[in-house]
Structure 1
Amino acid sequence: MTLQRLWAGALRAAALVAALACAPAGAQDFRDPVDQPFTVWPNIPVIRASDLGDYGQDRQIIADLHADKADPAKVAAALQAVDGLQAHHERAALAELGRSLNVQLIAELDRQARRINTRNPKLRFDFADITPEQLQRPSARDDLPSRVGRITLAAYITYTRLDGALVQATATLVKLRSGASQSFTATAPAPLLAEALARDLFDYFQGTRFTAHQNPLASAQWLTAAPGHADRLVSRDAALRYCQSQNAALPTAAELETAEAAGFYGGGVALQPAGVYHVQAGLYDTALAHDGAGRARPNHLASVPNGYYYCIRHAAAPTRAARTRK
């Protein structure tokens, strides 16, 4: 049985023990509760995935064979040598790199904590009853279910080699009590990989938790241009006609500026860096340095295709009878 399977089995057992004692909860931020540190199981399996950098070499070898550029006998001998190296490095990958990355990641997290002079880092590792020699060993993972009372998070890392010395790794943290997970990916030369992952983890857990933005135009609905107008310059007349067909209108320059500031993921819209958009006052040019009305200029050619557009539909104001009933 592989180390990965042993660890995965222990993790499932620990999560099951905890789940039986906990009632289901609503969706939360992975870092909740806010002021509580997380105790992490220090044994972090490091699992090697396929080396993406090798795929390019393999494809080139096959292409050369088909093009009669390579001697098949020499290629076969070379592939056998590569297979031998692959097997050697595969054994070394789990025996050496995994242990090194495990220890370096913890050391880098400690260094980040010292950098900001905090005595209460959000991620803490529990090494009770574990010797350094036991790291990356299945015997240490066998005790995980019995320690679920004091361990909050378990982790594992998968990595793949890219071109040259670059390595891409993904660290996944799992909450033992709920099964929730959070992953972090970093790409760096092998000696700097632990530092890159640690910085992402540290910033996520230790950094300021910002309140979510409110949609500044929550009462309005944004509509994209007509399907036939997508990514095309159209005339002001065409844009007006389509917006009116949707019980909507062209936005004002201020509304478009506000929606651009809110962003595509905050209830607003995404504008092209050097795009020109139809608004009520004329054309809104994102290439201009000014904001709001300063980006708007007259449109003297209403029938010429010279702008992109969005439509905006405002919520209907309550009628007098509805206000009276309230």
Structure 2
Amino acid sequence: MTGNIEEFIRGKSEVVRLALVCLLAEGHLLIEDVPGVAKTSLAKVIARSVADAAVRRIQFTPDLLPSDVTGVQIYDQASGGFEFRQGPVFANILLGDEINRASPKTQSALLEVMAEHQVTVDGVPYAVPHPFLCIATQNPIEQHGTYPLPEAQLDRFLMRISIGYPEELADEVAIVTDGLARRRPEELKPVVQLDELRAMILALRDLHVSEKVRTYVAMITRATRKHPDVHLGVSPRGTIALATAAQAWALTEGREFVTADDVKAVAVPVLNHRLLLTSEARLRKRAPEAIVAEILDGVPVPRLPEQK
């Protein structure tokens, strides 16, 4: 899958790997970056790489309604009753483009499905397909016509990552070449069957996480709640997210156990959007990523048998 995606997303191996970690961990991914750096394309090529997966896309706009996301009850004259018409959230991979352009009311329509993998309409719960992954994009520099995501929704994303500009000249030249050839993400061929993806997700649950690693994860998230620049630290849901993402990272390394290095590898993208900074820290333009890095430096790494 990595090789397939990197045929289109050039020079961003770590970004691609983190996105696949989200997929394996059954988490949701928020891609936050400036326009034109292939945020939507990354989401599309991930979806295209999985055969038989139900893929839906929502272009979030200010006039979008919650029923446009979850679905709606429609009166059926033939039966004389109401019939539920499924919305685009009933998919294996949901692409939410420019999610912060929708109103808070519409954004809240995703809260239940992102946390519980179901939608409740008129008191009746409807389960979405398994696996379910939401990949959302947003532009952090544009404020006109946008609505910031509430903390409750940010906390439901396993990771927040950015793609950034191409670092190497050769990568940007390759991007230009692809653009001139009018290459599109839809041209990529699937390389993994949906059943294979489900098997990988199940295998992830069997990866061993020792008590020392679990303690290390808890120490990191607890340290966020005591940092002087943090008003609101990471919740227990964030602690679970960090451990799960570390499991998925270890799986991509081909190991059957998790180490402290796996935790460090995913800590910044998993925790950076879960920190609510103090007003003084925001005035000093402190970055959440830098605070997470400070915490990682300050929390002692447990001595694990696997690292000897």
TM-score (norm 2): 0.21
| Greater C-alpha radius of gyration | 1
The structure whose RCO (Cα within 8 Å, separation 6+) is larger is: 2
